[in-house]
A and B are shown apart, each in its own frame.
Chain A
Amino acid sequence: MPPIRDVMPAFELFQPASVGDALGILDRHGADAWVMAGGMDTFDWLKDRIKKPKVVVDLGMVDELRGIKDASGGLEIGAMTTLTTVANNPLVKERFPLLAAAALIVASPQIRNQGTVGGNVSQDARCWYYRAGWPCYRAGGNICYADTPTSVNREHAIFNADRCVAVNPSDTAPALIALDAEFVIKRGSAERVVPAREFFVGPGIDITRLTVLQPGDLLTAIRIPATWAGKAHYFEKVRDRQVWDFALVNIAASLNMSGSTISDARMVVNGVAAEPYRLDAVEAAIKGKPRDKATADLAADLAVQGAVPLRHNAYKIPLVKALVKRAIRGEAEWATS
């Protein structure tokens, strides 16, 4: 564990009141700037003195980044909207209860009151070796301390490890991918819209980031199309304790039913790879099949193909299988179908 000093290194603090101002500051300071949303990830880094940005841009005053509004039957959620607001918002609960369920189970009530949906999807890896400030791949070095014969790695990746075996810790990320959401990113005067799946990157593509966000970028909103509004869904998070903990594995599924048959599906697990892991093979296999035990068993086997456990996390393989089965059979208390 790093020594917790509770004394943050000095930085220049900016508190812009508009997106335009924030973008101007980010453009001016580039890689020296650190974007802070709710601060739930930021303050860990700063108080541990692992990250020492010259400039911190606190988005807390930018009201235009907050709120949830209708968007042609879908929703547009400001990146600075708190997780509590997302979880309790009537429109979210009515149209996309999958997202409400995911937001409602993040960390703890206190963290949800302060943490934002933009921050939740953008947060950095929680690997304790990396968080301790050790010079691992993700920190710009050339070693993964979590993937050695002596590593403690029960919370690390079983899929798509490429040197680094950290996992994406977000609960809302798999839900947003399962809803075909899009992320609105602004940079200077430009705006780009990135499908949720492409927002997250694995270590093979960029070993120092979990998302496509680069210095100067600002995630401003998340758009959810109407495609999966009101459809069957399933979300479950497995963690060591029932509050204030990251997922060992979580699963988010959207299911479009035609009678008793699955006509289309999105299924994403997180906590198993450096990016939310979409189960493409499962989605393809369950189309046209009923939500029954046979389909669940088939999907479970497909879901874990290619999994490579580390020294202490082989339990994640049966856990993923179990969650996939439950998602298809809809056995949790909050399942709607």
Chain B
Amino acid sequence: MGNLVSWARSPWGDSVLTHISWDLFWAALVGGLLFLLAHGGYMLFSQHRKRESSEVDRMEAEYKGLPANIMRHSFVSRVFHWVMAFSMLTLLFTAFLPIVGVRFAWVYWHWMAGILLTASVMFHIVHATLVLDFWSIWVGPKDIPEFKAEMLREVGIDAPGPKSGKYPLGNRLYHLAVLVAGLSVIASGILMMWRVRTGIVERNPYILTDATWGLTYVVHGLMGVGFVGLVIAHIYFALRPEKLWITKAMIFGTITRRQYLEHHDPDRWVADKSGSN
């Protein structure tokens, strides 16, 4: 761990953490890009089995009461997603461009974007709890059969296990990672507002001990570089041809009835029969 974080000697002679080594940023960047190459190469040979066309045809007849377009993401959910995406990209660029040598006054934009991210996440928590199907995004032991089936399909076996509910397993695992990293950067970032002039709180670096501040900065840095990899992966999957239907749904809100039946388990995600907005 010695080379992954930097230390300093405080005025009181204590050895305190200051921040992570910025080599970790490069590691995350290179790791993310290597993942793209590895996954892209793998997908050339992947045997992934979708639901057979004949079975989808049969289901279309069975579920003919469904509308042609099915709402996947409400307007509010989409606005949240893109606001969060904008704030996250702003945070990453303002944090890491100076580290790669692009010099500009980044701090103001960084904490402003942080406030936007925090506000959007707070809204999302309330919205997801009160309006959306709260449990549909979580991962647990109940998903083991789906995981097994997906793995078998990946190697070309037409496994009978369950299809995903509203969100594919990868989607839900990604959400969990973003949740952990996101709440960590938000919590540490809010504390760090006391270290810079914002006009919101009075600057006071003595609200925490040096050791606690060190941990705060290290957590913020670790999760920040973690987001480099997470965002690279997210954009990559959003742009993959076989995933574009999901990406379009995040723009336009709906998927077609056939996409719904092809990729989802109608018993696990009961579509809204009122159709598209």
Contact = CB atoms under 8 A, between A and B. Distances in A.
Interface of A: 132, 134-135, 139-145, 147-150, 161-163, 201-202, 204-206, 308
B7 to A, nearest CB: 9
A149 B103 contact: no
B205 A162 contact: no
B11 A149 contact: no
Interface of B: 6, 8-11, 16, 18-19, 103-108, 195-197, 202-206, 213, 217
A200 B104 CA distance: 14
A204 B10 contact: no
Contact of B11 (A134, A150, A161, A204): A134
A149 B202 CA distance: 8
A150 B104 contact: no
Given A135-B8, A141-B8, A143-B195, A148 B205 contact: yes
Contacts of B105: 162, 202, 204-205
A204 B104 contact: yes
A141 B105 CA distance: 18
A326 to B, nearest CB: 30
Contacts of A142: 18-19, 195, 213, 217
A148 B204 contact: yes
Nearest to A161: B197
Which of B10, B106, B203 has the largest number of chain A CB atoms within 10 A? B203
Contacts of A162: 105, 107-108, 197
Contacts of A161: 197
Contacts of A201: 103
B203 A148 contact: yes
Given A135-B8, A204-B106, A163 B195 contact: yes
Contact of A143 (B106, B107, B205): B205
A140 B7 CA distance: 10
B18 A149 contact: no
B104 A205 contact: yes
Contact of A135 (B9, B104, B197, B203): B9
A161 B198 CA distance: 11
A148 B6 CA distance: 23
A212 B8 CA distance: 25
A147 B217 contact: no
10 contacts: A135-B8, A135-B10, A141-B8, A141-B18, A142-B19, A142-B217, A143-B213, A148-B205, A163-B197, A204-B108
Nearest to A147: B203
Contacts of A132: 11
Contacts of B202: 149
A204 B107 contact: yes
B204 to A, nearest CB: 6
B219 to A, nearest CB: 13
Contacts of B197: 147, 161-163, 308
Nearest to B192: A142
A5 to B, nearest CB: 16
Given A143-B195, A143-B205, A149-B204, A205 B103 contact: yes
A135 B103 contact: no
A140 B103 CA distance: 16
A140 B107 contact: no
Contact of B18 (A140, A144, A147): A140
A134 B11 CA distance: 6
A88 B3 CA distance: 52
Contact of A206 (B9, B19, B103, B217): B103
A308 B196 CA distance: 14
Contacts of A147: 197, 203
B257 to A, nearest CB: 53
Given A140-B8, A145-B205, A205-B103, 10 more contacts: A132-B11, A135-B8, A142-B195, A144-B205, A145-B11, A148-B205, A148-B206, A162-B197, A163-B107, A204-B104
